[in-house]
């Protein structure tokens, strides 16, 4: 008789519905979840994405962020939901943010009353002159930013959904450098690199593999109705230290 699957905390493995499963971050989350002996139900928009998910060892749900029925079905079938999908076409930012809001509400409606975990991806608040923290609240529409994923997700806690929000900075790896890639390309074309003020500003960033590990940590240990930024760095350092000790 096979032992029951376990997660990173030694508990019973879960069935996770993952949006953006073949995306830049999602494709790095998948192997971590599978290694933690969870089952992954990945949302696939195309046949190519579906094939990639099956080859990775995932179950597939055909659909996209506009197909609200598929989002509700996926959430209803899962023990937890991780939402990383987002259309980053900046020429349609307001429309894409509205689509994200509706998608979160759809998945939240399927989770209502369940007490299940719902991990939603957001961005850092554009605060000027200081480092932002988890306690900083970004009002809807602040600084012209139409994305309201965090506010919509947090409202679901009133419906007995265990919500955690991860505020992602720029995400990169060895081949892709996120939005900075556009700035570097512009600098090469212009022959100079522009900067703001005295050039003392800092741009937060995270490697995609570290970002993927963070989702697993939040799934296993994250605080309910919480925003994850600073404490996650401590958790990642702790997890890395434990791994090094185990590896000798």
CATH number at residue 113: 3.40.50.720
Number of structural domains in the chain: 1
Q: Which residues contact 227 (CB under 8 A, 6 or more apart)?
A: 122, 134, 150, 164, 165, 166, 167
Does residue 75 sit within a domain? yes
The band of 213, judged by pLDDT with boundaries at 50, 70 and 90, is very high
In a domain, 178, yes or no: no
Q: How far apart are CA 201 and CA 10, in angstroms?
A: 42
Q: What is the mean pLDDT of the chain?
A: 84
Q: Whole-structure pTM over 0.85, yes or no?
A: no
pLDDT higher than 80, residue 65: yes
H or E stretch at 48: helix 47-56
In a domain, 195, yes or no: no
What is the arithmetic mean of pLDDT over 77-84?
98
pLDDT in the model for residue 71: 99
List C-alpha distances in Å: 94 to 1, 5, 118, 141. Answer: 52, 42, 23, 10
Query: What pLDDT is attached to residue 186?
Result: 87
Which pLDDT belongs to residue 141?
A: 54
pLDDT of amino acid 139? 56
pLDDT band at 232 (very low <50, low <70, confident <90, very high): very low
Domain membership of residue 155 (yes or no) is yes
Q: Is residue 9 part of a domain?
A: no
Whether 176 is in a domain gets the answer: no
Q: Is residue 94 part of a domain?
A: yes
| Contact yes or no for 121/136 (Cβ under 8 A) | no
Q: What is the pLDDT of residue 242?
A: 47
Q: What is the pLDDT of residues 123-138, one digit of tens each?
A: 877 666 777 777 776 6
| Domain around 141 | 15-169+204-247
Residue 41 and residue 75: Cα distance in Å, rounded? 9
In a domain, 20, yes or no: yes
The token duo for 73 is 């079905």
pLDDT higher than threshold 50 for residue 94? yes
């Amino acid at each position: 008789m096979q032992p029951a699957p376990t997660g990173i905390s030694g508990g019973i493995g879960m069935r996770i519905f993952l949006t953006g499963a073949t995306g830049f971050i999602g494709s790095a989350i998948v192997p971590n979840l599978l290694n933690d002996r969870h089952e992954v139900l990945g949302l696939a928009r195309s046949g190519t994405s579906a094939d990639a998910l099956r080859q990775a060892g995932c179950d597939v749900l055909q659909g996209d962020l506009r197909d609200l029925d598929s989002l509700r079905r996926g959430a209803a079938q899962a023990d937890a939901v991780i939402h990383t999908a987002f259309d980053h076409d900046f020429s349609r930012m307001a429309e894409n943010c509205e689509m994200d809001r509706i998608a979160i509400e759809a998945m939240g409606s399927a989770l209502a009353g369940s007490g299940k975990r719902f991990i939603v991806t957001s961005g850092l608040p554009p605060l000027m002159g200081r480092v932002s923290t988890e306690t900083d609240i970004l009002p809807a529409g602040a600084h012209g930013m139409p994305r309201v994923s965090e506010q919509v997700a947090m409202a679901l806690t009133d419906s007995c959904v265990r919500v955690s929000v991860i505020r992602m900075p720029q995400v990169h790896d060895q081949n892709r450098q996120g939005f900075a890639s556009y700035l570097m390309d512009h600098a090469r074309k212009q022959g100079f690199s522009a900067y703001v003020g005295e050039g003392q500003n800092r741009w937060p960033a995270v490697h995609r593999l570290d970002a993927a590990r963070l989702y697993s940590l939040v799934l296993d240990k994250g605080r309910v109705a919480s925003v994850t930024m600073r404490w996650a760095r401590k958790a990642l350092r702790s997890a890395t230290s434990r791994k090094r000790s185990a590896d000798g």
